[in-house]
Amino acid sequence: MFTGLKVLLCDDSLMIIKKMSDVMRSLGVGIVQTALDGEQAVKLYKMGKPDVVFMDQVMPNKAGLVALQEIIDYHPDAIVYMLSSMGTIGKREEAEKIGARDFLQKPVTSDDIKTVLEDVVKELANKKQV
Amino acid sequence: MLTQLFGNYLMKQHLVSPSHLIEALRESSSTRVKLGVLAINAGLMTPAQVDEVHELQKHMDKRIGDIMVDSGYLTSEQIAVLLKAQKSGHLILGQSLIDNGHMTTAQFAEAIRQFKLDNSINDIDFNDVKDELTEKMLGRFYKLNSKVTGEEHLVEYVSLLFKNLIRFVGDDFVPNKVEKLDSTASGAKQRIRNGLSAITIIDADENTMVEFASRFANESLTMNDEYTKACISEFLNLHNGLFAVKLSHSEGIELELEPQNYYEQMDLSELGNLYVFPVSFTFGNINFIVAM
């Protein structure tokens, strides 16, 4: 179901990058790109136009919400999910205002990720039909 | 969290030695709490009555519960209720100590009674004890004063830390008092800003870090390499993040976190006021440090 999907993972933690990559592999996601900070994430987004981005908040060289803003400025339809331990009321509101699809509070399970990807696949299919 | 505080209590009262406590915690996962301990904990039987029933069982081919009912100590309804408490951490710990011969049933019963009395606990089941009370106990344990400026959030911080340790690493630990602190620390570090200015650190030796990271990441790690360090750092980031979420809901405070990192030989002398929360896991000692 996810073989045609291109995902960008953005987190400064090697552990999260590895765990999330493992989840993507087990779900059969076609292409997985990784970025270790916000700046790299924006760059990779512009280069590769992934279908969906998972974005951490607390990162060096550009925090997640700043990177989110730049991605949305560049591509208003970008599908970006915040994935962070910092799901405070303020950060959630800010993420929603900028245009994140949702704020996923760490820790997440592979089922949580699967549900998100299913939504993304549906949305992409609908867009194609239109 | 009460189980961990109770474990320290047993040690502090010299009822068990640190090594026996560690041994009992290690064996807790395979320990089943027996009916006698459950009945004593609920105040339905005395240690002497339990010993008597155990003595009787040696000469009979009957289940202990049946003997308790036959002797008129318990009804079968009471037994059914008691068995539900079989998963209580402090009872498992006690049973494990009794099974290993480090405590008698009577000593355990007395320790529980005194512990409850000292801490104004009325509930039979520790799971029913209110968070507020455990937070207060933990604050007292680490000598924190919520009325002192700067310390008001530390009790919440440590209490959540204990919950996160139990949730993500394991419950086989006890809190400890600070004995002596080295002038340097090696481990994960993260700064908290906005509304609370603090530097948080996880400090432990390499072997302890490897085991801690293995459990947190649910993988078998063997050395303190970049990945292990990333796991330790991520635990700190996760805990601090969850703390920020909690404060944003309870007090409307929006903390900021700086990216976490792992450092060798951090100089602690320049970090200001140090609050150290030592924790002894069955696999090693960890200092959680908050500098303010």
Residue B154 is part of which domain span? 131-291
Q: Do B249 and A105 touch (CB under 8 A)?
A: no
Looking at the predicted structure, is the pLDDT value of residue B148 above 90? no
For chain B, the domain total comes to: 2
Residues B51 and B144 grouped into a single domain: no
| pLDDT tier at B151, thresholds 50, 70, 90 | confident
According to CATH, what is the number of the domain A6-129? 3.40.50.2300
What integer pLDDT is reported at residue B145 of this predicted model? 81
B230 touching A (Cβ < 8 Å): yes
Whether the ipTM is more than 0.90: the answer is yes
Nearest to A86 among B227, B230, B257 (CB): B257
Which residues of chain B have a CB within 8 Å of the CB of A58?
A: 237, 241, 257-260
* Domain segments of chain A as ranges: 6-129
**Cα separation, B102 vs B26, whole angstroms:** 14
pLDDT tens per residue across span B11-61: 999 999 989 999 999 998 888 899 999 999 888 999 999 999 988 988 888
Distance from the A50 Cα atom to the nearest Cα atom in chain B, whole angstroms? 25
Q: Which residue has the higher pLDDT, B60 or A83?
A: A83
Residues B142 and B54 grouped into a single domain: no
Which residues of chain B have a CB within 8 Å of the CB of A91?
A: 254
Residues B103 and B16 grouped into a single domain: yes
| pLDDT tier at B162, thresholds 50, 70, 90 | very high
Average pLDDT over residues B212-240: 97
Q: Do A58 and B252 touch (CB under 8 A)?
A: no
Q: Do B234 and A88 touch (CB under 8 A)?
A: no
Looking at the predicted structure, is the pLDDT value of residue B235 above 90? yes
Residues B93 and B158 grouped into a single domain: no
What integer pLDDT is reported at residue B87 of this predicted model? 82
Q: Do A13 and B233 touch (CB under 8 A)?
A: yes
Average pLDDT over residues A10-28: 96
List alpha helices for chain B, DSSP H: 2-12, 18-27, 35-41, 47-58, 64-70, 76-83, 89-99, 105-118, 131-141, 154-168, 206-217, 226-250
Instruction: Evaluate whether B291 touches B273 at the Cβ level (below 8 Å).
Output: yes
The structure's pTM equals 0.90
| pLDDT tier at A129, thresholds 50, 70, 90 | confident
B240 touching A (Cβ < 8 Å): yes
Average pLDDT over residues A35-39: 97
Distance from the A115 Cα atom to the nearest Cα atom in chain B, whole angstroms? 22
Instruction: Evaluate whether A14 touches B227 at the Cβ level (below 8 Å).
Output: yes
Both structure tokens of A86: 């910092």
Residues B139 and B284 grouped into a single domain: yes
